[in-house]
Structure 1
């Protein structure tokens, strides 16, 4: 029987999708790829395969899950199976450098960034890098490795004290610090390569901004920036009727790169310039924000898109 196969390494993130697929009454199978075997000389099953592997898998003890997924996707694609968010999407998920170079081809503005391997080389790169700047991991997710520094000396001090955690792939990034007057970022969600909705995310409390986690760990709201300390605002808010010329660029980028599902994050500076800094190909959705608006439900839309692909087999 032909099924929908969900490739991932995080049960908690995948539960809402599996529930949505059950509601759509389609057959599916859960492929958790923390460990596994890839029978290259055997033909894969028939079906639709959706890759949701995460760059942050190592933070959950699944260090080689992306490498295993790469082998599985090569196997599936070699046999001509329908793979949504396939090998190229995985490559972009695992490398900010690859993301930025791909985005530039579509005239999407990204922050000034330098990649370096080795602490000595990182400090050399910081000597002439505009301050303030941030560090981040090339292979990251969840805001891993993101710290702000006002100078090379402050970075050097952190390194001497062993406070800067290394990137799992060894590649550290120095990146232009973008100041947002509203202390927010915008996350644009896409299903089937088409824009679904945009979310405004409050960044005043830090950089760990995964929609599936940041508002579900007892820290659902952040303090207001204004007059009444008793009033609270949500960390994630869906922007109704969001319109921006960058959406067309994002859709062309996704189509060219073979990315079917994605969340793309950007930040607007004081001059109104929009910088795009992250592409998530295993996108999650914030249930509280969706329930407040009661108009868009990301995982339901994903399930419907998968069902349509399955029905076309």
Structure 2
């Protein structure tokens, strides 16, 4: 049996991880969620340790996406004794922006003002508590999908009446204030094992697809400017608290500074957080190597 299994969906995002595992000589197996099935009365885990890398944005690439299937599968393997990294409880929060905001608020962190609804017809009423400009977001998102900006009630009502409002695969929608991000950047803090790994400034606040990976740049056609930086200590500590409270083994926390008052607003958690493109150029080192060393430790723990 291999030491490690990687459950994934995107055909290109994890090539750097696979290359790092190969360099390290780890015995692992790749498991594509696309054509997978399991027997609830059988189907033992494929390895003692399973790393989940199923993307929330998978519904964009395949209508019969594996999001909720993966939650059931990972839970099944855990019940049979496997160590599951970024497991079903993490996916349950990762796949719900509403739950993410509730978690952030529960930790005492500032978030954008938001209302959650489950009918498009209720968007305009919910917007009254927020004010314009605002964003309407799909609860299950990824790569900026399912987000629209509205600058007036008339604009929002017209889109709803035309049946063109954003839709979420779970039928949950968010109405959220549009934060003017200071300097037009967002901060993306990556964590590993509940600890801070690195942070980048991502230039492009106001855009919605801010995926930092090489493959995302290829899909967009235009690279997004990203630079390494050292966040304030309180922001680093907050990101670690978020990861630990969520049980997120590897993933990112996104923050923007509200230009109106300088408040740091936490607005997204991404447990399928792709490491930055051109990492050696941007960071001076490759975080995939750190991830592989951490995985080695998890494999050793599973053997003990």
Calculate the TM-score normalised by the size of structure 2.
Answer: 0.92
**Residue of structure 2 in register with 1:119 after alignment:** 120
**1:224-256 deviation digits (Å, cap 9, x = unpaired):** xxxxxxxxxx611111x3333022122122223
Q: Is the 8 A contact 2:114 2:130 kept in 1?
A: no
Instruction: Give the one of 263, 268, 292 matched to 1:273.
Output: 263
Aligned with residue 274 of structure 2, among 284, 290, 295: 284
* Superposition pairs of residues 222-301 of structure 1, within 5 angstroms: 235-239=225-229, 241-270=230-259, 271-288=261-278, 290-301=279-290
**Is 1:216 paired with 2:199?**
no
Unaligned runs of 5+ in 1: 222-233
Unaligned regions of 5+ residues in structure 2, if any? none
Aligned-CA RMSD value? 1.8
- Offset, 1:62: 5.1
CA change 1:208–1:294 in 2 (3 A) is closer
Q: Is the 8 A contact 2:4 2:29 kept in 1?
A: yes
SS of corresponding position for 1:67 = helix
Distance 1:218 1:208, change over 3 A: closer
Spell out the pairing of 1:1-313 with structure 2 (5 A cutoff).
1-42=1-42, 43-61=44-62, 63-203=64-204, 206-212=207-213, 213-217=215-219, 219-221=221-223, 235-239=225-229, 241-270=230-259, 271-288=261-278, 290-312=279-301, 313=303
Whether the 8 Å contact between 2:184 and 2:206 is mirrored in structure 1 is no
Paired residue secondary structure (2:109): coil
Alignment CA distance shift 1:141-1:268 (3 Å): same
Q: Tell me the secondary structure at the aligned position of residue 12 of structure 1.
A: coil
Match for residue 227 of structure 1? none
TM-aligned CA deviation for residue 121 of structure 1: 1.3
Partner deviation per Cα, 1:179-220 (whole Å, 9 max, x = no partner)? 013011000011122111111011157211111244334644
Contact 2:72–2:88 (8 Å) recurs in 1: no
SS of 1:182 mapped into structure 2: helix
| Distance verdict in 2 for CA 1:235–1:214, change over 3 Å | farther
Q: Say if 1:35 and 1:68, in contact at 8 Å, map to a contact too.
A: no
Contact persistence 1:38–1:71 (CA under 8 A): no
SS at match of 1:216: helix
* Contact 1:8/1:54, CA 8 A, preserved across alignment: yes
The number of equivalent residue pairs is: 299
Q: Which whole-Å CA distance do the structure 2 matches of 1:297 and 1:162 have between them?
A: 45
User: 1:231 matched to which residue of 2?
Assistant: none
The alignment partner of 2:198 has SS state of strand
Offset, 1:40:
2.1
State the shift of 1:279 in Å. 0.5
Q: How much has 1:157 moved relative to structure 2?
A: 1.6
